[in-house]
Amino acid sequence: MTNSQQIFTVSSLNQKIKILLEQNFASLLVEAEISNLVKASSGHWYFSLKDENSQVRCAMFKGANRFVQFMPKNGEQVLVRAGVSLYKPRGEYQLLVESMQPAGVGQLQQKFEALKQRLAQEGLFDPAEKQALPAQINKVGIVTSAKGAAVHDMLSILKRLAPNIEIILYPCLVQGEQAATHICQMIEKANDNAELDLIIVGRGGGSIEDLWAFNEESVAYTVHYSRLPIISAVGHETDISICDLVADVRAATPSAAAEIISQNSVKLKNSLPKLTRQLMLSIEHLVRIKQHNVNRLELRLGQQDPVKQMLNKQQWLDEKLNQLHHLLLNNQQQKRAKLNQMAQALFDQHPKYKLQQDKQNLANYALRLNQAIQNQISQLDHQHRLYAEKLQAYSPLATFSRGYSATFDQQGNTIQSVKTVKPGDEITTQVFDGKVLSKVTRVDF
């Protein structure tokens, strides 16, 4: 070991290896079996790809796996496009997966990539080779299946957004061995129509096998050499075909293609009210100028023509009569309104309704009087009970009931002293349950 030899930390060594791997293996295709698949709560997928002898760890982040069009499971053979990287904390290399599809389409994908690379080298994808869409679109040819949902979607959108655009359908096969040939024939046939402004070529979504006709070399060259501009609208937004890459404009879906060609019509439709207002203003301005000239000439003629003067007087008379008519009509309406108001006031003062009101008031007063009487009776009854209780408390009978008595002389006066009686007097003693009559035989002092 020499002093000039660089000394690495583990982190710096892993970082250097990570850079080397990512630079030299930026994108590659791997076909293998999935194992140890984990779908984390974060949305990322972690798994291994293995064959009979080896395995490699993989990560597919949620920004990429949301485009996967099937649900992968352990044990499935898949074809992935990935870049090689290194997970620094553990110092193990892994694949960062960008796309995934069932392994059965691996050969088609390789064929697709090979053709894509060759056509790119030939310049078929060069933006400089692409035609711009015409500013004014009046007639469009659509090359697609006459029975598919794509054509119905496009026609529906065009009918709604750009009913002025005329559509000519060139029905063709869009799937199967003869589809590519048929697509080329319809594109060439559409190019023979001198009235067309552009062509839309496409179909609805499907697997790579379903869309393969649009990845054929013959379709690519036919689209490239088309006299008319071509919009390619094949499959869904995530589907990229050779036709999309060669075409002058790529639409994410057939519906998007219809919206693209409708843009100018929509703009014109939106600007139509403004243009209409401008036209009306111009017409009104011109009419005012012409009317001014007519009025000026009529004035000159009217100053010299007795008939015109008579007609002017007649017009003046008609205006005055019309004013008088409106004046009388307004006066009549005012009188009628006042009469209605007075009739309503009289109606409100009618004895019948006054009597009804008085009856209602009488009923209310009677109800209030009855309530007051009931309240008064309740108060008097309460007072009566209070007085009765007090009277009972002060009553001699209550005293008598406790064993007391009272003695009265013959005149009914209470005997309070022995000095007021003498022997021989008759006296009466009141007890609780009656009176006792007795005669005094002796008085003790």
Tell me the C-alpha distance between 395 and 21, whole Å. Answer: 122
Collapsing DSSP to helix, strand or coil, 374 comes out as helix
| pLDDT at residue 267 greater than cutoff 80 | no
CA atoms lying within 13 Å on the CB side of residue 192:
7
Helix, strand counts (H, E) of the chain: 11, 13
- Percentage of residues in the chain having pLDDT higher than 70: 93
Place of tokens 């035609």: 131
Reported as a pLDDT band with limits 50, 70 and 90, residue 276 is confident
Assigned token pair, 209: 């096998």
CA distance 351 to 360: 14
pLDDT band per the 50, 70, 90 thresholds, residue 288: confident
Q: How sure is the predictor about 235, in pLDDT bands with cuts at 50, 70 and 90? A: confident
HSE (side-chain half, CA atoms, 13 Å) at 285:
6
Condensed to tens digits (0 to 9), the pLDDT of residues 102-154 reads: 876 556 777 888 899 999 999 999 999 899 999 889 999 999 999 888 899 99
DSSP β-ladder status, 139-144 and 77-87: unpaired
| 112 φ/ψ angles, rounded to the nearest 5 degrees | -60, -45
**Which band of pLDDT confidence, cut at 50, 70 and 90, is reported for residue 195?**
very high
> 431 has which bridge partners?
434
5-45 pLDDT, tens digit each: 888 888 888 788 888 887 888 888 898 999 999 999 999 99
The pairing of beta strand 249-250 with beta strand 230-234 = parallel
Selected residue with higher pLDDT from 239 and 348 = 239
d(C-alpha 47, C-alpha 50), whole Å: 10
Fold of 123-267: Rossmann fold (3.40.50)
Structural tokens at position 97:
């997966």
What mean pLDDT is predicted for residues 371-396?
84
Cα separation, 12 vs 18, whole angstroms: 10
Q: State residue 38's pLDDT score.
A: 94
CATH of domain 10-105: 2.40.50.140
Query: How confident is the model at residue 250, as a pLDDT?
Result: 93
Confidence of residue 303 (pLDDT cuts 50, 70, 90): low
Distance separating alpha carbons of residues 281 and 292, to the nearest angstrom: 16
Q: What percent of the chain has pLDDT over 90?
A: 35
Q: Provide the pLDDT confidence category of residue 269 given band limits of 50, 70 and 90.
A: low
Kindly tell me if the per-residue pLDDT of 305 is higher than 90.
Answer: no
pTM of the full structure: 0.45
112 contacts 140 by C-beta, under 8 angstroms: no
- Greater confidence (96 vs 313) lies with 96
φ, ψ of residue 359 to 5 degrees: the values are: -60, -40
How many degrees, rounded to 5, is the angle at CA 343 between CA 342 and CA 347? 115
Residue 138's pLDDT is what?
92
Q: Which amino acid is residue 180, in one-letter code?
A: A
Distance CA 281, CA 274 (A): 11
For position 20, what pLDDT does the model report?
84
- pLDDT of amino acid 182: 95
pLDDT in tens, 43-67: 999 999 998 899 999 999 999 999 8
Give helix 179-191 / helix 217-224 axis angle, nearest 10°: 10
CB 96 within 8 A of CB 86: no
What does the pLDDT read at residue 184? 96
Q: Where are the chain's structural domains?
A: 10-105, 123-267, 399-439
Sign of the C-alpha dihedral computed for residues 304, 309, 311 and 315 taken in this order: positive
Residue type, 442: R
Reply yes or no on whether the pLDDT at 444 is more than 90: no
- pLDDT value, residue 106: 59
Nearest-angstrom CA–CA distance, 100 and 111 = 16
Name the band, by pLDDT with cuts 50, 70 and 90, for residue 314.
confident
pLDDT for 249: 94
Q: Pick the closest to residue 145 from 105, 188, 176, 112 (CA basis).
A: 176
CA–CA distance, 109 with 27 (Å, rounded to integer): 14
Whether residue 308 is predicted with pLDDT greater than 80 in this model: the reply is no
Which residue is associated with the tokens 């207002």? Answer: 277
pLDDT at position 190:
95
Among 325, 301, 296, residue whose Cα is nearest residue 311: 301
In angstroms, rounded to a whole number, what is the distance separating the alpha carbons of residues 337 and 367? 41
Check: CB of residue 148 under 8 Å from CB of residue 121: no
> Are the C-beta atoms of residues 392 and 398 closer than 8 Å to each other?
yes
Instruction: Tell me the pLDDT of the chain averaged across its residues.
Output: 86
Whether the per-residue pLDDT at 348 is higher than 90: the answer is no
